[in-house]
Each structure stands twice: as structure tokens, then as C-alpha cells.
Structure 1
Amino acid sequence: MASTAQQAGYLLVNELFGPTFQGEGPSCGQRAAFVRLADCNLACTWCDSRHSWDWRRHDQAAETRRLTVESTATQLLALGTELVVITGGEPLLQAEAITDLAAMLRAAGRRIEVETNGTIPPPPELTDLVGQFNVSPKLRNAGLGSRPIDAAALTAFAANGKAVFKFVVCGADDAAQIAALQDAYGLHPVWVMPQATSADEVIAGMRQLADTALEHGWNLTGRLHILLWGDQRGR
């Protein structure tokens, strides 16, 4: 869970990798470099990156590095991709530092996406620099009890014009929850994706979701990295 103590000029990094492909959402298939930041303010039961925050199961010292923002930017730029994705964990726990990182990346001509669970409003300075927020509000299927929905954060994302909303779907009743959130907060565009960690599960899940997505006017995404490399870290 969240334990990041922000230090000016530094990021708590879990892993940095690429070049690879963005595996989900509207930028799926585009070449990208990724920096995965450590710590999260949620604890989803199906999370596929528990190594970035679950310090009961993973060794925090082995899984984290405190890097300067400048060093992080230099390493990402060296990977030579137009798109840089800042993910987690929950990146907005380190909002001040990722704003500085985004400024360096933008100055070098990079396009930036931030992947977030949508519970922390982004600062205006970061919003100005980011090309796209990939916001993934959590449904009851995440096993968090009452849905961890932050009304102010979702409203801010919906209003900034740079957010897409991606929902992980596990079962038939998830569609009603997504539709209710869409209506309540004006979420658009909406992408839906099956919860899956193998190629067979991705394909089967997309087939099950296809008609529901079409019926509701939603976009459908798979998980390209899973189809290509399975549940392999750093791809």
C-alpha cells in the first residue's frame, strides 16, 4: 500500500523498461517506454503488478530504487520512443516529481501518458504537460469492499479533456456498474478490457465482452503485451 515519502527531485521507481508496445487502450500497439513507479493507495485482488506495492509479498528494498528525476528522464529518453508511459502502482502519489519528469520529457519532444486509478486529482501543471491520462476506476470486482471512487478526482479527470476511462471486467454484472459511473460523472470515452493474464484468457474475455461493448457504445481493448509475451515482467 501507499508509503511513498516524496523527496524533491526524486522518484521511487519499481522498474523502467522498453522499447516495447503500449498494450492497452487507444494507444495499443504504439512503441513506448515505461517507467513503473512504486507504491499504491489501493490493493486490488487481481492486480498484475503487486511487485510495485505489496511489500508483504515482495521485498521493497529489492523492488524499488530512488532515482533523481533527471536520471529517470535520461534513461527513458535513451530508449528512443516517441511515447513514454508513467504507470504504477499509483503514479499520482508522486505528482510533484512526475510533473518535473513530464516537463523534461516534453522539452525533449516526447508524448506522455499517465496511468492512474482515478482516486487522486492531477495537478493543473501536470495536466498541461500530459497528452493522455489512462484512468482505470475500480469496480467491486477489485475486492476492495465499497468501490474506491473519488468523486472530485473523477470529475476533474472528466473535465480536463485528456482522460480516457478504462475498466477491467470480470463478470456480467460489471457492465451495470460501468454504465452507472459513466452516467454519474460524464465519463467519455470508455474502454473495457477483460481481466486476464494469459493469451487464451484475453481472447476469450474479449469475445465475451464484444457484444456488451457494442451495445453500450464502449471501446474494447485487449492486452497486447499478454498476447505477445504472456505474463512476463518488463515487456
Structure 2
Amino acid sequence: MTPSEPIDINSAASDAALRLIVAECFGVEVPTFQGEGPSCGHPALFIRLSRCNLTCAKCDTKYTWDWSQFDPRKESTKRTAADLVAWATSSPVELVVITGGEPLLQQARLVSVVRGLIAAGKRVEFETNGTIAPAPELVAHGVRFNVSPKLASFGVRENKSIVPAALEAFAASGRAAFKFVASTVADLDRIAELTDTHRLAPVWVMPEGTTADAITATTRVLADAVATRHWHFTTRLHVLAFADARGR
């Protein structure tokens, strides 16, 4: 697997320079829901940015970064901040989820997007792997961060996926929830170590799986242990409802 090429997030602030590298936008033409975490089940629009700084073996959006399997020229386009705001504000849906890949690779370019969305009455959730601390301009009213640190069991080295300073910045922001993908009870033990060490709260656990059968099976493996720890539990609604179809 080949990691994404670096992105210059300090480009000059012209309209052309403020274009973002986008994998897909969906939820306007065909309505959908936020499928995970604290807003699971809420109607949502999605702006999925391309590129990631991790190469997780179990990633389900490899078309945002794995150029050994996908062609970046076919899997991404460049869109201006104004274009993305206009697209999202064409819908009455309140919640806009900015995801990836890893969206905070492009966070300097996202400031004007977020400001435009908030000014239009939207609320914004970032889905982030928690390796990059948020810019102060993004830690704002109407913005939340769903931080999903990746465990070694997800197919990534934790010396890359666990960045203590970034996790602690999210925790200090007061605008983050910490959502961990888990497959086994042993994963829950590792989550407990991380949350205790870095004072991460609130904690959400999500069963790993890309089919309804897999999610159901893993849910039953984890449920008692999650409940015992008094953590939140989330499913993957988009998988259950739409069979993990792209763009849903």
C-alpha cells in the first residue's frame, strides 16, 4: 500500500489555492443518515475528502488513499470552499459530516467551508483519526469532532496512529467524542488503557464489520463488556440499512 502524497495546507489564500481534494459528496440527491457515533440516525450530508496519513489494513475507504488499488485521477476532484458550501446549503438537512480519508490534512482550507456552513445554520461533525490536532479556527460553536484513534488490531502501527498530543488537544477542546472500532474484548482493554492515559471522554465503541452479519456478531461479542464499562455503544447504521453501498 502506498500512502498519500503530502498536501501543502499553507497555500496562498486565493480561490484557486483554496480548492480541496474531494473524494465524494453525498446526501443531497439521495438522502442518507449519519451512520455512526453520537449522531447516529440523524439525517446528514457528507463531504468526504481524499488523502490520508495512515494506511490501515481494515480501512473501508481505501479509494481515498491507496493508489496501489485506485487511481487518484478517477477517485478525486478539486472543489472550492464556495462550491462545497453551495452544495451543502442546497439541502435543508442540518448536519454536515466532513470525513475522509483524513480531513484535517486539509484543515487550513476547511476553515472557510466551516464558517460558511455555520453561517448558513448548519452544524458540522468531523470524522478524524485523531493524529492531527485541530486548528483553533475549527474549534468553534456548531462544530464537533468524532475522533477515532485506530488500534493495532485495525491493521496499523500504533506508533503512527496514536498521537498523544493530538488526542489531548481534542480532549481539551470540549468538542470531541472518542469513537473506537473494536472486534474483540481484548480491544476494549486497549481502549481502556488509552482513555485512562489520555483522559479521553466520552467514549463510544463501534463493532468492526462491513456486513450486517459481521456487525451483529461483533456487537454480541462486545455488548456486555461495553455495558460493564459504562461506555456508549454505536452500530454502523449505513451498513445495516444500505449494505455499505458507496454514497449512502
Same fold (TM over 0.5): yes
Distance 2:140 2:90 in 1: 24
Point out 4+ residue stretches in structure 1 off by more than 4 angstroms: none
Of 149, 154, 179 in structure 1, the residue corresponding to residue 162 of structure 2 is: 149
For structure 1, the 5+ residue unaligned runs are none
Shift of 1:231: 2.0
Q: Give the letter aligned to residue 228 of structure 1.
A: A
Name the counterpart of 2:26: 17
Is the Cα contact below 8 Å between 2:130 and 2:167 reproduced in 1?
Answer: yes
Distance 1:47 1:137 in 2: 13
Distance 2:158 2:76 in 1: 30
Shift of 1:208: 1.5
Is the Cα contact below 8 Å between 2:122 and 2:142 reproduced in 1?
Answer: no
**Residue deviations 1:150-195 (CA, integer Å, cap 9, x gap):** 1110010001100000000022311111000010111000000111
Tell me, yes or no, if structure 1 residue 173 matches structure 2 residue 186: yes
Name the counterpart of 1:183: 196
Distance 1:130 1:142 in 2: 30
- Seq. identity, %: 49
**Residue deviations 1:184-221 (CA, integer Å, cap 9, x gap):** 11100000011110111112211211111111111110
Secondary structure at the counterpart of residue 68 of structure 2: coil
Q: Give the letter aligned to residue 188 of structure 2.
A: A
Is the Cα contact below 8 Å between 1:102 and 1:130 reproduced in 2?
Answer: no
Of 103, 106, 117 in structure 2, the residue corresponding to residue 91 of structure 1 is: 103
Distance 2:66 2:133 in 1: 23
**CA 1:92/1:220 → structure 2, altered by over 3 Å: closer, same or farther?**
same
Distance 1:226 1:143 in 2: 21
Matched pairs, number: 235
Name the counterpart of 2:139: 127
Tell me, yes or no, if structure 1 residue 208 matches structure 2 residue 210: no
Question: TM-score by structure 2 length?
Answer: 0.92
Distance 1:64 1:199 in 2: 28
Q: Give the letter aligned to residue 196 of structure 2.
A: D
Worse-matched range after superposition: 7-16 or 28-37: 7-16
Distance 1:39 1:151 in 2: 22
Distance 1:44 1:217 in 2: 28
Distance 1:146 1:181 in 2: 11
Tell me, yes or no, if structure 1 residue 225 matches structure 2 residue 238: yes
Q: Give the letter aligned to residue 2 of structure 1.
A: S
**Aligned-pair RMSD on alpha carbons?**
1.2
